[in-house]
Each structure stands twice: as C-alpha cells, then as structure tokens.
Amino acid sequence: MRAIIRLIQRLTILALGIVCIWLIVDVFKFVDRRAPTILALCLTYALAAYIILPRAVCTGLKVLQRNHVPRFTVTGDGLPGDPVNLALVGTFDQLRGAFAKAGWIEAAPLNLASSWHMARAFVLNQPYPAAPFSTLYLFGRGQDVGFQKAIGDSPRKRHHVRFWAQNDEAQNGLTLMTHDRRALWVGAGTRDTGFSLTRLTFQITHATDSDTNAERDFIIDELTRCCVIRHATLFQPGDKLARVNHYIADGEIAVAEIAVPASPSELTADRGETQRP
C-alpha cells in the first residue's frame, strides 16, 4: 500500500511539473505576440516566479505532507523557508535580554518605511543594523520576534534568527502571552551571504549559507560565551522536547534554557556583573 501511495504522489508531482512548463511556455507565446521579446521574457518570469511556480510547489507540498511538526518554516506562498534548528526556554523579556547582552539587534517591524530603508541600504551597500526580516510562518503564523548580528558593514551579510513562541496556554502566539510567562521559543537561524534567486521559484531573495547547523552552533556559542543560556542540548530527529510543552524534533535542534534576569529592571542592575555559566 505504501508503495502505491508513493507512486501516486510521484505521478502527481510529475503532472504538476508538466502543467507548469506548459503554462509558462503558453504565457510566453501569448505575451510575445503582443510585446517586444525582452518585455515578454520579463513578464513571463514575473508570472512564473511569483504566481505559477509558488502555487505549484505549495500544492506539491500538500501532496507530500506528513503528520509531523514542520522541519522548515514556510513563506507567504507556502514554500519551504528556513529550517527550524534551535529553541530557547524562557520569557519574552529574557529572550530579548539574552540577545541584547550578546550584542545582537532586534529586527525592526516590517512595513513600507523599513522595507524602503532596507532596499536602499541593500542596493547602496550601507549599514542597517536593525533591518527588518521578511515574514516566515511556523505553526500557522509569522515570527514573533527576530534578532540579527551584522557581518561587517554590509546589510547583505548577517547572522539572523526568527522565533515563534509556544506554550501550553498560548496556541496563537505572542499576542496571547504576557512577557513574564515562560515559553519554548522555537527558532530558525541562518546566515545571509548576499543575494540570489530562490531555488524552486527563482524569486529574488537573500542568499543564505547552506550549512544551517553551523549557524545554529554559532548562535548557541554566542549566547554561551555571554553566559546567557545554560544546559544546551542537541536533540536528534524524532526526539521529544518536553521542557515547556510537547514538541517533536524533525531535524537536529539545539535546546537551551535562558539564564538572564526575567525583568528589565533586574537586567539593568545585572549589566555590570559577571554571570556564572
């Protein structure tokens, strides 16, 4: 039975690929008869990369979907995004305090002004330490918070991580939580290295280092060096994470407990002291 199901899935994916190719070629033929060739190519690329292929890939992922916690985040189009590779246990204020103490900057909210600032900084290669993140989705919602550390002065290269809050009482994210309630902060950390085209749909995006395990280790090392986390443990695929709530790792995930003061006033008082690991 499993062999039959796999065969049906593969035939479905093959059919989706054939339909996509047919649509893209047909779109080009239609536009090419009504516009100069270069314009026809540009319009065909835009339709293929941002409309046809995202929907086809999203449909394919639904066909292949298994009953497990996602290993990857997804984009707004439903395409695979950054892999989940770490999780921290603590309150929202502790999470912020830990990354602030490690010298990381919280990402600015994504809006028209910050997007324009980011685009200008990216093109002109000017520093933007609090550059916004594009929205990726996990557990059905966008990230609750993100942090970054620039590599040099270029906005094109940076270490960055997004977090989604999970606990037993808050199933819809940070809006249902208080800042002093402990949660499992599930994170996806990657290192931006420039810009490129996405592999499945050829959309323009940041290029990222393919070794996300190395980035996970870098983030954990950064936080460990500043003595803001403890008990870091690497969980293998299939392991259950039960420090705050039930969670099953579908890839290698580093989990640690945040070890900074819970309140901003305590954090301010503690800045001049050296913490023990």
C-alpha angle 189-192-195 in degrees, rounded to nearest 5: 140
Q: Mean pLDDT, to the nearest integer, of 16-32?
A: 87
Query: Coil, strand, or helix at residue 9?
Result: helix
Query: Coil, strand, or helix at residue 218?
Result: helix
Q: Mean pLDDT, to the nearest integer, of 101-120?
A: 90
Residue tagged 């093959």 (tokens) = 14
CB atoms within 10 A of CB 30: 13
CA 137 to chain centre: 7
**pLDDT of res. 4:** 83
CB 165 within 8 Å of CB 144:
yes
**pLDDT of res. 188:** 93
**pTM, rounded to two decimals:** 0.65
> pLDDT digits over 159-178, tens only?
999 999 875 444 444 444 55
CB 239 within 8 Å of CB 87:
no
Of 113-122, 183-192, 236-245, highest mean pLDDT: 183-192
Q: Mean pLDDT, to the nearest integer, of 24-49?
A: 86
What gap in Å lies between CA 163 and CA 165, rounded to an integer? 7
Confidence band, pLDDT 50/70/90 cuts, at residue 101: very high
What gap in Å lies between CA 155 and CA 55, rounded to an integer? 30
CB atoms within 10 A of CB 265: 9
**pLDDT of res. 61:** 61
Is the pLDDT assigned to residue 195 strictly greater than 70? no
**pLDDT of res. 274:** 37
Is the pLDDT assigned to residue 271 strictly greater than 50? no
**pLDDT of res. 197:** 60
Q: What is the DSSP letter of 51?
A: I
Q: Mean pLDDT, to the nearest integer, of 242-246?
A: 44
Confidence band, pLDDT 50/70/90 cuts, at residue 59: confident
